[in-house]
Amino acid sequence: MTTSDTAVHTQPFQAEVSELLHLMVHSVYSETDIFLRELVSNASDACDKLRYEAIASPSLLGEGDALKIRIIPNKAAGTLTIADNGIGMERQELIDHLGTIARSGTKAFVSKLKEAKDGLGLIGQFGVGFYSAFMVADKIVVVSRRAGESDVWTWTSSGGSGFEIARASDEEAARVTRGTEIVLHLKDDAKKYLEAFEIERIIGAYSDNILFPIELVPEEGEPRQINSASALWQRSKSELTADDYKKAYQQIASAFDDPAMTLHYRAEGRYSYAVLLFAPSTKPFDLFEPNRKGRVKLYVRRVFITDDADLLPGYLRFIRGVVDSEDLPLNISREMLQNNPQLAQIRKAVATRVVSELESLAEKDPENFAKIWDAFGAVLKEGIYEDFERREKLLALSRFTTTSGEKRSLKQVIADFKPNQTEIYYLVGDSIERLKSNPRLEAATARGIEVLLLSDPVDAFWTSMPSEFDGKPLKSLSQGDLNLDLIPRVDDNDEAKKDEPEADEAATIAVIKAALGERVSDVKASTRLTSSASCLVADSQGPSRELERILSQQNRGMKTKPILEINLRHPMVGAITKAQAGSKAVDDLSLLLLEQAQILDGELPEDPAAFAARLNRLVLQGLGA
C-alpha cells in the first residue's frame, strides 16, 4: 500500500460531469422522487452483478447476509443512506464510475440536456442517474468495499468541480463489510425524504418488484421489508397458481374484480422481455376518456419506468399488467418511448399476442370471453376502424346483437345464411330497441334474414369503410340501393301484399319531389319496405345517416340531404297519387311521409309546430270534421 493510497486526494470531475451537476443542482428533473429510484436501481444492479460473478467464484458471497438493499433515514443528522451488499467498488472504480461519464459523445449529450425539457429521460437513458441525488443533497459520501477485497474507500463530493477519494475510517470499514453505502446529506427543502411514509410511497410506486429485499431501517423499531421483492412475471408459469395471478392482477391494476383473462409469457430472441397481462371482468370508470390512455406498465429489469408508454393500441386500453424489458435503458425518454425501434417491435408483438389470446379464449372459454366482450366490446371494435392489419381477426372476435335476439359471431351469422344470400346485412342506430322497430328491416325480415343491430357509437365509424368477412361483404340496410329479390320470402302476409295495387311510380315520385323540394336529395321507390310507408336512407357514396348525426353533434362535417324511399303499395302513398297535384292534401301527405320517417330515425321534424298542425288537419279531414 503506497502513501498516496492512504492520503485524501482531491480530483476534478470530468468537464461534462461538472456541467451535468450544475444542471442537476438547478433541478433539470421535474420530479425529485426519481433520485431514490435511481439509487435503489443501482443497488439492485450491484447485487445482480455479485450474484453473476459468484457463479464462477462462490467465495465472493462468503458467509454474509443474503443480498439486500437498506434505506436508513437519520433525522438528527439530516442524512438518508442507501446501502447494498452487492459487488462494491475499488478505489479506481469509484473514480471511474462516479467521476466520469464513461461514454463517447458526452459533450453532445450535455449540450442536448441543456436544451431538453425532458432531462429526466435523457439522464436515465445515458446511465448517469446517480447524479440525480444532487437535486436533494448538498453533500454525498459513498463508502464501498468490493466483494473479496479488504480495502474500503470513501468518495465525497458537494457537487462542485470535484470530489475527494480516501481510505475509509475504521468505523466506516466496520459498517461496510461488502458492497456500497451512499449517504446523502439532504438539503433543507428535501427533508421530507426522511419520513418513513414518504420512502415507502416511492418504493411502492417505483421499486416494489426489485427482486432483492428493500429494508427500511427506522430510527425506532426493527428494520422491515417495504417491497414485495417478487417480480411475479419473471417466474415460471408452473410455479404459480390462479390465486397468485389474481392477487398480482389486483395489486398491479388496483382492482377488486377477478381477471377474465391472464396472459403470461417470456419472449426470447433478438429482444428479451417478460409479459404479464390481464383482461378485467368489469368496466373501469375511465374507459372512454378522450385520451384513451392505456394502463400497461413498462419495467426495465424489474424497475418501474412508466405506465404511459402506449405499449398496446388504444382499442386494447382496458388490458392491465406489465411488460418488463431486459434490453431497454432505464429512464427511457418520452421521445424514445415514441420512436425506439425495439419498443415498436415489442408493441407489435404484444398486441398480436393479446389478440391471439382473446381468440383462444373465445373458442375455449366462451363464458369468460363473454364477460370481456360485454364490458369492452365497444372498445375492441375501435380496432376494426383503426387496425387494418388485424381487422379480420377483430371482426371474428366481435359479437353482435342480431334480429335473432342473441349475441352472435359473424361466423355463426354466415352459417345461417338464407338461400342465395351473399352479403352480411346490418343496421346502425342509437339503441337496440329503436333498431328492432326500424322499417328498413322489413324486407330482410320478410325473407328471414338475420341482421346485425349496431348501437355503439363506434359502429358508425368502422362501418363507414368497405368491410368484408370470410369473403362476404357487409352491407348496410340504410345506405345505397338494396336488392333482395333472389332471396326467397318466408312471410306469407308479405306474399299476399303482392296483390295490392302499386301507385304509379313515375307520377307519384314526381308529385312528392315537387312537394318536398330541397328537403331531400331524391325520392325513390323502396325495395326495403313491406308495411311502412317511407324511410330515409343515405347515398352509397357518402357517410351513413348515423355517422352524419354523430359528426353533426360534434360540429364536424356538413349535413347532407337524405333520400326518401316510399312504399308504392302503401295506402298513404296511393292517396297522394289520387289527390290533385299541387293541392294542399298532396303537400301535407308528402311532408308527413318525410316527417314520420324522421321520427322513426329518432329525429325531430324540421318544424314541429307545422308537423302538429298538418297532422291535426289530416286527422280532422279523415273524421269528416
Matching residue, cell 466520469? 100
Which of 42-46, 166-170, 229-233 has the largest mean confidence?
A: 166-170
* Confidence label for 103 from pLDDT (cuts 50, 70 and 90): very low
- The region, left, alpha or beta by phi > 0 then psi within -120 to 50, assigned to residue 198 is alpha
* Confidence label for 319 from pLDDT (cuts 50, 70 and 90): very high
**By the 8 A CB rule, do 298 and 305 touch?**
yes
Query: CA 40 to CA 73: how far, in whole Å?
Result: 14
495 residue type, one letter = E
Query: CA 265 to CA 288: how far, in whole Å?
Result: 29
Q: Which residues contact 365 (CB under 8 A, 6 or more apart)?
A: none
Residue 622 has pLDDT above 80, yes or no: no
Sheet holding 273-280, edge to edge: 259-267, 273-280, 320-325, 295-300, 303-306
Orientation angle between helical segments 505-516 and 584-600, nearest 10 degrees: 80
Query: CA 505 to CA 405: how far, in whole Å?
Result: 36
pLDDT at 557: 57
- 82 pairs with which residues across the strands? 71, 182
Q: Model confidence over 260-277: pLDDT tens digits?
A: 999 999 999 889 999 999
Q: Model confidence over 174-218: pLDDT tens digits?
A: 999 999 999 999 999 999 999 999 999 999 888 887 889 999 999
pLDDT at 423: 96
* Confidence label for 603 from pLDDT (cuts 50, 70 and 90): confident
Residue 127 has pLDDT above 90, yes or no: no
Residue 23 has pLDDT above 80, yes or no: no
pLDDT at 105: 43
For each of the domains in the chain, give its residue range(s) and CATH number, in order of start: 3-216 (3.30.565.10), 239-372 (3.30.230.80), 499-537+562-622 (1.20.120.790)
Q: What angle do CA 276, 49, 298 make, to 5 degrees?
A: 25
Query: CA 284 to CA 291: how far, in whole Å?
Result: 15
Query: What is the average per-residue pLDDT within 34-41?
Result: 88
Q: Which three cell numbers, joined as nine digits, stand for 515?
A: 312537394
pLDDT at 126: 43
End-to-end CA distance of the chain: 123
Q: Model confidence over 453-470: pLDDT tens digits?
A: 999 999 999 998 888 999
Query: CA 31 to CA 120: how far, in whole Å?
Result: 8
Q: Model confidence over 52-99: pLDDT tens digits?
A: 888 888 899 887 678 999 999 999 999 999 999 999 999 999 988 887
Query: CA 379 to CA 487: how far, in whole Å?
Result: 34
* Confidence label for 581 from pLDDT (cuts 50, 70 and 90): low
* Confidence label for 3 from pLDDT (cuts 50, 70 and 90): very low
Q: Bigger pLDDT: 83 or 162?
A: 83
What is the overall mean pLDDT for the chain? 86
pLDDT at 392: 95
pLDDT at 123: 47
**By the 8 A CB rule, do 387 and 352 touch?**
no
Q: Bigger pLDDT: 549 or 126?
A: 549
Q: Which residues contact 203 (CB under 8 A, 6 or more apart)?
A: 36, 40, 71, 214, 216, 226, 227
pLDDT at 71: 98
- Nearest alpha carbon to residue 123 among 45, 27, 200: 27
Residue 121 has pLDDT above 50, yes or no: no
What is the share, in percent, of the chain residues with pLDDT greater than 70?
87
Query: What is the average per-residue pLDDT within 429-452?
Result: 93
- Nearest alpha carbon to residue 47 among 266, 214, 184: 214
- Nearest alpha carbon to residue 333 among 111, 116, 103, 114: 116
**By the 8 A CB rule, do 446 and 490 touch?**
yes
Q: Which three cell numbers, joined as nine digits, stand for 390?
A: 388485424
pLDDT at 620: 86
**By the 8 A CB rule, do 323 and 311 touch?**
yes
- Nearest alpha carbon to residue 17 among 141, 136, 128: 128
Query: CA 381 to CA 391: how far, in whole Å?
Result: 9
Q: Model confidence over 486-507: pLDDT tens digits?
A: 999 986 555 545 556 676 788 8
Which of 18-27, 226-235, 254-263, 400-409 has the largest mean confidence?
A: 400-409
In order of 203, 213, 327, 335, 352, the CA distances from 349 in angstroms are: 30, 32, 16, 21, 5
pTM of the complete model = 0.73
Query: CA 114 to CA 23: how far, in whole Å?
Result: 8
Orientation angle between helical segments 119-126 and 106-115, nearest 10 degrees: 160
pLDDT at 118: 46
What number of other Cβ atoms are within 10 A of residue 8's Cβ? 10
pLDDT at 116: 53
What number of other Cβ atoms are within 10 A of residue 119's Cβ? 22
202 residue type, one letter = I
pLDDT at 104: 40
Q: Which long-range contacts (CB under 8 A, 24 or more apart) does 210-213 make?
A: 210/40, 210/41, 210/44, 210/69, 210/302, 210/303, 211/44, 211/302, 212/43, 212/44, 212/47, 212/67, 212/68, 212/69, 212/84, 213/66, 213/68, 213/69
- What is 593-611 written as a DSSP string? HHHHHHHHTT---SSHHHH
* Confidence label for 19 from pLDDT (cuts 50, 70 and 90): low
What is the share, in percent, of the chain residues with pLDDT greater than 90?
55
In order of 248, 525, 579, 611, the CA distances from 589 in angstroms are: 66, 16, 10, 11
- 262 pairs with which residues across the strands? 278
**Is the sign of the CA dihedral 489, 494, 498, 499 positive or negative?**
positive
* Confidence label for 302 from pLDDT (cuts 50, 70 and 90): confident
